[in-house]
Amino acid sequence: MSDAPDSVPNQANQPPISDAYDASKLGKLEGLEAVRKKPGMYIGGTDERALHHCVSEVLDNSVDEHLAGHCSKIEVAIHVDGSISIRDNGRGIPVDIHPQYGIPGVEMVLTTLHSGGKYGQGGYKFSGGTHGVGAKCVNAVSEWFEVEVSRNSQVHHMKFERGKTMKKLEVIGKARGTGTLITFKPDAEIFKETTVFQSSRISQRLRELAFLNSGLEILFTDERPAEPKPERYYYKDGVEEFVKQLNQGKTALHPKPVSIRKETKVKTDEKEAEVHVEVVLQYNDTYNDQVLCYTNTIHNPDGGTHLSGFRSALTRAINQFSKANNLLKDKDPQITGDDVREGLAAVISIKHSDPKFESQTKVKLLSPEVESIVGSVCYEGLMLYFETNPPVAKRIVDKALNAARAREAARKARETVRKGALSGGGLPGKLADCSERDPALGELYIVEGDSAGGSAKQGRDRRFQAILPLRGKLINTEKARLDKVLSNEEIRTLITAVGTGIGEGDEAVGGFNADKARYHKVIIMTDADVDGSHIRTLLLTFLYRQMKGLIERGYVYIAQPPLYKIKRKKREQYVDNDEQLNRILLELGSEDVVLARLADSHVFAPAQVDKIVENLAALEKLGAGVTRYGASLAEYLDAQDPATQALPRYVARIREGNKETHQFLFDEHARSKFLTQHGLNADLTEQNENGISSTAPFPPDKKPTGPIKRVTIHEIYESTEMAKLLKAIAATGLDTARFAASEAPRFTITENAGQKSENRIELRSPLEIVTTIRANGRKGLSIQRYKGLGEMNPKQLFETTMDPEKRRLLKVNIADAAKADALFTLLMGDEVPPRRQFIEDNALNVQYLDV
């Protein structure tokens, strides 16, 4: 017998006691930590789409102020350091202490989930925000987040880092008006794919908001280019102008769009909701439809109940009018929903006091009562319009009838293509297929011409890479109906190879089904010349119009052959873009050089030189945020805090006559003190988009006698990133206390050190180091502009453009269907004048032109 205590025998499937599942294994995420741990639940992911969704979340709060009648202007700016600012002249987020929670209102709405003014307390009648998680989620996924609120004649300021309060709410000055300014920088720890905002994506959303909110002025500036070009969006006629823009470059069947508006009330969940419906539509002579849906100005790309209500009403109204006026013959096919939408451009905008969405990203409206409301409003409005405008109604019916006839012809053509794929071996002979049968692993390269196709076939990895060479140029699917498109041999070959079918309709008769895709990477690989660009555009037009699901699933890519081939001595290298070329110039310039500090003859190690050059180049790039206001970058850097390397947050620009001076202000308190010193809180000051100025109209009895002094204060959003770079440079041993050029040399760079041809250059400022290194990198360098795939042999083609380890692919997405539709129509449609105008407007932006 053992003296050990009684114990239960350990069974094979019973975990040890230490691994038992008890309350100690349960956790709780406090505050905004949940958002950082699971960002996909709140902002839909961590990719580029989610990054831009953050902008929408903040922007929508400003638009809600406009919907409530308190905001007429919104300003958006992308800064050089990658941060973004959104300012409105609304009421300003409340800053008083909340009676129940004991913290300022602005802190509550930016740090506490499910808090805000959109839960029926009377703050907003219509609002895009319904869950109370928008702005605080952006705060949580931002490296830093700042808010300024102008309210009660005071400017209030708070600062956060990764959702945590770093500076409590404080008053930093006097305010002449009201409004909110939010600035944030996305956190690279969350957005690992990219933290770079796409200017085109944001500008399109801003334009869209201006269309949907007539009377709202929106200003947008991307400060990253060397010469920023501010854009202004303001549309008096709102949605009507939106629809006209959708039809730009197309021939409208009726010059004035059909506008239907109605306000109604409905009971939802035992309470009354207010619903405003606005639908504007206009037909054109193309074969594609475009219907955009919005709820409280939020785009719903997946539609929802408002879209289904509109579609059923449109089909019913057109069929009803055609029957009532005997416009259909017995032999004519039945007009379906697809037929009545051919050539339709429409915007459905509803405002709902209590909308229900599918998710936080609001891609689909679920409110069930909206379907019947929109359906009845649209049916009544359309029937009234048709009865009062019979000639237009007849043109619309004729178009729908022609679409029905073409649909029958296309169905037969699709059936022919489908049968061809199922018989006689199925796949086209020119397709060099891969051995991999899992679509998720397979890649299809669509290659321009048999010559490049031959090189691609020889150079590819046969296990997972298939090659389909296309001869000549495809039919322009923008100008042709589907039945004619399907008669094109190259198109039929492509359809068969991809395996999904095309267009809308039943899969049994060849309709599109993305699940049938034989490859999950369809890669367009064409030359970087005029013909290659044309073929690529024709292919994208076809895929966008007939296989849109492939693009929506992220299956379509464009191969990115290298842009340059550089040679220096024995080194040969392909370069993808100008940014990479600049990096290589710095790398080459750093080779065989010795950087020394003259004060103590200290020689920097090669690894240190590389770090110094890399960080100085980044500092130089961010310096555009300072120099655009006329200040000296060296003087700004010299204004740093010696202990922390922190940099001034503001630059004051003082102009008096022809004289201009600058003063750097460290923080909000320094700015407030400066304003007081210059008397800029008096009646003679005005706040405008250019800063705070003393050039407002003067009363007759107070007109100045001397030169007028004008003062503007600009915020340097890049100061945080620049301070980080200063610390990194200082860590290498380089003195960063003085950037202004000194009288005596401070550094030397010796090129070709130890050789007979060595060259010693004296430098008086740290900023001269990167300039000298870059110039050295160009010596003896041959840069060849690279154009065609045919210039490479099979091995080179694989290494540069097809090798998964080295290649660069550009994923094709539909970030903005309206813009994509307009661009395809512009470039590939029948209207020549708009295309000519586009070429004239953009000709000077072309860096390389192949003629």
Cα separation values, 513 from 417, 431, 820, Å: 15, 21, 22
Q: What's the Rg (C-alpha) of the chain?
A: 32
| Residue among 349, 186, 188 nearest 275 (CA) | 349
d(CA 630, CA 628): 5
| Residue among 20, 18, 41 nearest 29 (CA) | 41
Place of tokens 């730009």: 248
CB atoms within 10 A of CB 175: 19
Alpha helices in 460-509 (DSSP H): 482-485, 489-498
For residues 179 and 61, the answer to whether their CB atoms sit within 8 Å is no
Q: Is 635 annotated as catalytic?
A: no
d(CA 177, CA 172): 15
For residues 731 and 645, the answer to whether their CB atoms sit within 8 Å is no
Question: DSSP label at 276?
Answer: E
Specify the DSSP element, H or E, that contains 692: strand 691-693
Phi, psi torsion values for 78, nearest 5 degrees: -95, 130
What are 306's strand-pairing partners? none
C-alpha atoms less than 13 angstroms from C-alpha of 145 in its C-beta half-sphere: 24
The tokens describing 815, both together, are 């970030």
Cβ-Cβ contacts under 8 Å for 397 (sequence gap 6 or more): 318, 321, 322, 327, 335
From the candidates 48, 57, 65, 371, give the one annotated as an active-site residue. Answer: 57
Q: Which residues of 400-421 are buried (b: 16+ CB within 10 A; e: fewer)?
A: bbebbebbeebbebbeebbeeb
Beta strands in 115-257 (DSSP E): 142-151, 154-161, 164-174, 179-186, 217-222, 231-233
Amino acid in the structure at residue 466: A
Q: Which residues are catalytic?
A: 57
